[in-house]
Amino acid sequence: IIDAIEAFVTGGLQSHDVDRVLATVMFTDVVGSTEQITALGDRRWKQLLASHDTLIRGELARYRGRAVKTTGDGFLATFDGPGRAVRCACAIRDQLRRLGIQIRIGLHTGEVERRGEDIIGIAVNIAQRIQSVARPGDVLASSTVRDLTAGSGIRFDDRGEHHLKGMTGTSLLFAVQPQ
């Protein structure tokens, strides 16, 4: 009845943000992938990338993350808890390092909007921008992730303020210390 009244009074139903959820967003990217393709050749690169994808999907399952999509040589994934996201990112980094693959990972927690199987929103853009300024081998997180994991035993190194492309102001970023 309330929906009918709202539709009559306003001329339509208003969105109640049912597709917006709080999530920790993770972006991964292989460092120097073009150089690796050149050095390894297409066939060997394809095999290495298949190992990369299998390993990441396994760690996502282990830490209850959800692969949203692949980005060629990286992943966009979400988690319902920042602690699991940080631990998953560190496990991915460490496992891939053993395969000779160096990556950089960006993490941010914020609201995202679901569009089918995809996600959109400023939190997605922030996580991607954080990943883009991460050093090779870094798991780099926003201050939001750091604050939400306080007391979890996860340790961070302050990496200072950064201007993230397309964002106003600066963002304080933190590198996750190895466990």
Among the residue ranges 10-24, 53-67, 146-160, the one predicted with the least confidence is: 10-24
pLDDT for the residue numbered 2: 54
Whether 23 has a pLDDT exceeding 60, the answer reads yes
H or E, element range at 152: none
Whether 169 has a pLDDT exceeding 90, the answer reads no
Measured in whole angstroms, the distance separating CA 178 from the mean position of its chain's CA atoms is 18
pLDDT for the residue numbered 14: 53
Structure tokens at 98: 């053993």
**pTM for the structure as a whole:** 0.87
Structure tokens at 92: 């991915």
- Average pLDDT of 90-110? 96
- How confident is residue 7, by pLDDT bands cut at 50, 70 and 90? low
Report d(CA 173, CA 159) in Å as an integer: 5
CATH class of 17-176: alpha beta
pLDDT for the residue numbered 40: 92
- Average pLDDT of 138-159? 97
Taking only the tens place, the pLDDT of each residue in 40-51 is 999 999 999 999
DSSP class of 149: T
Averaged pLDDT of the chain: 91
Query: 76 — phi, psi (to 5°)?
Result: -110, 125
Whether 15 has a pLDDT exceeding 70, the answer reads no
Report d(CA 64, CA 97) in Å as an integer: 22
Instruction: Mention every residue, 6+ apart, whose C-beta is less than 8 A from residue 55.
Output: 92, 95, 96, 99
Taking only the tens place, the pLDDT of each residue in 27-71 is 999 999 999 999 999 999 999 999 999 999 999 999 999 999 999
Whether 130 has a pLDDT exceeding 70, the answer reads yes
78, 23 contact by CB (below 8 A): yes
Report d(CA 173, CA 83) in Å as an integer: 16
pLDDT for the residue numbered 70: 95
3-state secondary structure of 170: coil
Q: Is 157 exposed, middle or buried (0-12, 13-18, 19+ CB in 10 A)?
A: exposed
Residue with tokens 């009244």: 5
Whether 10 has a pLDDT exceeding 70, the answer reads no
- How confident is residue 168, by pLDDT bands cut at 50, 70 and 90? confident
Paired strand residues for 1? none
Query: 30 — phi, psi (to 5°)?
Result: -75, 130
